[in-house]
Amino acid sequence: MKRVAILGGGPAGAFAAEQLASAGLKVQLFDEKLAWEKPCGGGLTYKAYSQYPFLLHNTTPKRTIRETVLSAPRAGEVSLPLDEPLLIYSRFDLNRMLLERAERAGAQIEQARVNEMTRAGSGWQLRTSGGTADADFCIVATGARNPLRDFGTELKSHDTMSALGYYVPGDQERIDIQFLPQLEGYIWIFPRCGHLSIGICGKGEPASALRKRLENWMAERAIPWKDGTFYSHLLPALETRSWKQNRVSGEGWMAVGDAAGLVDPITGEGIYYAMRSGDLAARTLLDETRSVNARAEEYRRVLRRDFAADLEFGSRLAHRIFVGRFLFGTIPQRMVQFTRRSARFSVIMQDLFSGRQPYLGLKKRLMSNLNGSLYEIGMSLGFSSQVPRKARA
C-alpha cells in the first residue's frame, strides 16, 4: 500500500497527511476550501498542546487565556484560574499552519471537492471537482457535514448539537461560560485575535431557539450583534448507544475527526480529537505487521483505548451535568458555588478544563474529595464554630 487519499483538510485530515507523508507514503489531500475560517471557538486545551507541543511553540497568531468565568442561574459567577492556559487560534490560521506542515512533509495538497469514492479492485477511485484520482487507501476527514454517506459516522439528529454565534468587535482577557436553565449546552465568549466569538451550543433544541436564547442574553448585557458576523455549524455529540455502533473504519478506509463523531459530548472540544485520531489512523496504517483490513479493524480498538471510551462515558454524564440536580439545586448552580467556596473542588474543575481529568475516574475523585469540599464550603460560610475541633483538624 503506497498511495493514500485524504478527503478533507481540517485538523484531522491535515495532521494525518503530515504523519503519513513523513513516513514516506504518497499522500494526496483534497479539500474544497483549504484553509478557511470554520465556525469554531478555536480553543486548544493543555491536553492538546502537551501531546503536540508545536501547537504552543510556533509563530502563528494566537491568544493565551489564563482565566475562565463560570456563571449559572441563581449562582452568580466565579473565576476559575487556568494554571494550564487555553490557546485560542483563528481557524483560518490553525488550518493553514497544519496544511503547510503536511505540505512540507511531502503531501500533495489539492483544492477540490470529492464527490464520490468508489471501490476499484482492492483500491479506490475518487471523482473530484478537478477530475479523478486513484488511491490504495482512503482517510475520510470531511467533518460533521460529511457528504459521503457510506463512510464515517451515521449522524442522527440525536447525535448532534447545533452551535452558532457571532464574531463581534471587542476584547477581554478571560473566557466566559454561561449555563442556562434547562439547556444541555452553554453560551461562551472566547476572545480571539482582534474580536470576540460569542456563541451557544445545545442539544435537543432547534437552532432558531438557541439563536433567540443567545440574542436575549447578549441584549441583557448590552452586547450588540447586528453588525457582527453570524456563524453556525453542526457539532457531533454522540449518544451512548451511538458510540457503541460508531462506524469509524471499513475495508480500505478509516474516518477521523468530526467525520467519525469524535467530539467531547459535554464541552464540544473536537480539535484535539481530530488531530489525535488523524495521528492514530496514520500510525495504525503504517503498521505493516497486519493486513490492510486488519489495520482498519485495529484502528477502532486503538481509538477506544486512547480516548473514545472516555468520550463514550462522557456521553452518559452529559445530560445530568447540564440539567441534573444535586443537593436541591441544579448541577451547574452547585458547580459554580462549589468552585467559589472549595479550593479542592476548584482544582478538580481546573483539571477538567485542561483535560488532565478524564470523565472515567471523575466520580471517584469527586466522591473521595466530597467530605473535604463540603468542609471547605461549611468553613467559608462561617460554620466553623459548629464543626467539631477534631473534624477541623
Q: Lay out the site mask for ligand FAD across 42-81 (x = CB under 6 A, - = otherwise).
A: xx--------------------------------------
Q: Is 229 or 380 the residue whose CB approaches ligand FAD more closely?
A: 229
Asked if residues 232 and 39 have their Cβ atoms less than 8 Å apart, the reply is: yes
CB neighbour class for 195 (10 Å; exposed up to 12, middle 13-18, buried from 19): middle
Report if residue 235 touches ligand FAD, rule: CB under 6 A: yes
Asked if residues 91 and 37 have their Cβ atoms less than 8 Å apart, the reply is: yes
Q: Select the residue interacting with ligand FAD from 257, 261, 332, 355 (CB under 6 A).
A: 257
Q: Select the residue interacting with ligand FAD from 85, 202, 270, 314 (CB under 6 A).
A: 270
Report if residue 228 touches ligand FAD, rule: CB under 6 A: no
Which cell numbers hold the place of 324?
441534573
Stretch that binds ligand FAD, among 57-65, 141-149, 173-181, 299-307 (CB under 6 A): 141-149
Q: How far is the CB of 226 from ligand FAD (least distance, A)?
A: 20
Report if residue 113 touches ligand FAD, rule: CB under 6 A: yes
Report if residue 39 touches ligand FAD, rule: CB under 6 A: yes
Q: How far is the CB of 66 from ligand FAD (least distance, A)?
A: 16
DSSP 269-331: --HHHHHHHHHHHHHHHT-TTS-HHHHHHHHHHHHIIIIIHHHHHHHHHHHHHHH-EETTEEH
Q: Select the residue interacting with ligand FAD from 180, 189, 210, 271 (CB under 6 A).
A: 271
Q: Select the residue interacting with ligand FAD from 28, 68, 90, 142 (CB under 6 A).
A: 142
Q: How far is the CB of 216 from ligand FAD (least distance, A)?
A: 19
Report if residue 11 touches ligand FAD, rule: CB under 6 A: yes
Residue with cell 439563536: 211
Report if residue 152 touches ligand FAD, rule: CB under 6 A: no
In Å, what is the CA distance from 162 to each residue of 158, 219, 278, 344? 11, 21, 24, 33
Residue with cell 482517510: 139
Report if residue 263 touches ligand FAD, rule: CB under 6 A: yes
DSSP 68-100: EEEEETTTEEEEEEEEEEEEE--HHHHHHHHHH
Q: Is 183 or 259 the residue whose CB approaches ligand FAD more closely?
A: 259
Report if residue 355 touches ligand FAD, rule: CB under 6 A: no
- DSSP code of residue 156: -
Asked if residues 3 and 25 have their Cβ atoms less than 8 Å apart, the reply is: yes
Q: Select the residue interacting with ligand FAD from 5, 10, 27, 191 (CB under 6 A).
A: 10
Q: Lay out the site mask for ligand FAD across 160-199 (x = CB under 6 A, - = otherwise).
A: ---x-----------------------------------x
Report if residue 38 touches ligand FAD, rule: CB under 6 A: yes
Residue 355 gets the label, from left (phi > 0), alpha (psi -120 to 50) or beta, of left
In this structure, which amino acid lies at residue 270? G
Contacts of residue 186, defined as CB under 8 A and 6 or more positions apart, other chains included, come to 177, 178, 179, 180, 200, 201, 202, 322
Q: Select the residue interacting with ligand FAD from 2, 33, 158, 221 (CB under 6 A).
A: 33
Strand duo 229-236 + 160-168: pairing: antiparallel
Distance CA 7, CA 277 (A): 14
Residue nearest to ligand FAD (CB): 270
Binding site residues, ligand FAD, CB under 6 A: 7-13, 30-33, 38-43, 113-114, 141-143, 147, 163, 199, 233, 235, 257-259, 263, 268-272, 274
